[in-house]
Copies of this chain bind each other. A is one copy, B any other.
Amino acid sequence: MKHGGDLTEAIARHGGAPGSWLDLSTGINPRPWPIPSQLPEGAWQRLPSRTDSEALLYAARKAYGVPVGAGIAAAAGTQALIQWLPCLAAPGPIAIVGPTYSEHALAWRNASHPVIAIDSLDACPDSAVHAVVVNPNNPDGRVTDRATLARVATQLKARGGWLVVDEAFADVDPAVSAVGLCPDLPVLILRSFGKFYGLAGLRLGFAVGAPELIARIATALGPWPCSGPALLVGAAALGDQPWADRTRKQLEDQARKLDEVLVKAGFAIVGGTLLFRLARHPQALRLHDALAKQHIWCRSFDWADDLLRFGLPPDAAGLDRLAAALSG
């Protein structure tokens, strides 16, 4: 499977209606920020205005702790930014810390940048002009520390390159964020709205970086990159600090309970974040298939036959269903 979060393949192989599946193949919070039952009609009808966009960016700056000296741009999902960066970057090889989210390598390769796979940012070679690190990493949850990020960004700066830090899962541990490096170094931070806020269908993501880099990205995206509902919901959700604080605690509890179920079934927890767990089992692929037959969809990887990634079940019933399926 190429990505989590798409039941099309699961249903084609194993049948069932989408609603009958327990989809644990993503790292999306299954308890989303509560969207108002009806959005103002104008959000659908009008072109988003500069005022709408500024309200979103104000809320995002605050939520992500963006320093005054850095810029921020919004896009229809982080993926839209991942697609653009290789076209805007200086030519030259890019080192990518992996294994990780596969779309980074794909996008840079499509834009004719040689891709160098490295297993830690410390191993970034002199030949790399740019580097990508997902922090915390997906799927293993590894965190690259600030000092390493700063050191590599300084090296890349001398080569006219960028350090892309994909913080798609940093909301669960805001202290990890490297936004503080942006004003002085060529560090581009990607923030995903949909995962922590549980609204992946809304399509909303951000780039944070030095103002001149962000201006180039905004020019490439052009006017109205985000939908009216994304601007409105994004601004409200990012401004809801109590919900975010409460959610971090709840995710801790949910992740702990998921770990217990997995360990009981013979898995070893080898990584993850509060939004997904990476678990090792000698029979991982057989278990993936057994779960799929019971319409539970988790994430497997083409580079490891003993690892599965599990997203959080939405509730106790989902957790019990997983436990029962694993013991069956």
The chain A residues found within 8 Å of chain B, CB to CB, are: 3, 5-9, 11, 18, 23, 26, 28, 30, 32, 35, 37-38, 41-51, 76-77, 79-80, 82-83, 87, 103, 107, 110, 194, 198-203, 219-230, 233
Beta-carbon contact of A44 and B201 below 8 Å? yes
Beta-carbon contact of B38 and A110 below 8 Å? no
Known: A43-B201, A47-B5, A229-B229. A80 touches B222 (CB 8 A): yes
> How far, in Å, is A216 (CB) from chain B's closest CB?
9
Partner of A32, one of B7, B45, B50, B221: B45
Q: Which residues of B contact A6 (CB under 8 A)?
A: 47, 49-50
Q: Which residues of B contact A227 (CB under 8 A)?
A: 76, 201-203, 227, 229-230
Closest 9 CB pairs of A and B: A201-B228, A5-B47, A76-B76, A8-B50, A83-B222, A203-B227, A47-B200, A6-B49, A44-B201
Q: Which residues of B contact A43 (CB under 8 A)?
A: 201
Q: How far is the CA of A37 from the CA of B40 in the complex (A)?
A: 11
Beta-carbon contact of A76 and B201 below 8 Å? no
Beta-carbon contact of B76 and A203 below 8 Å? yes
Closest to A45 in B: B32
Q: How far is the CA of A42 from the CA of B18 in the complex (A)?
A: 10
Q: Which residues of B contact A9 (CB under 8 A)?
A: 50
Closest to A76 in B: B76
Q: Which residues of B contact A79 (CB under 8 A)?
A: 222-225
Closest to A5 in B: B47
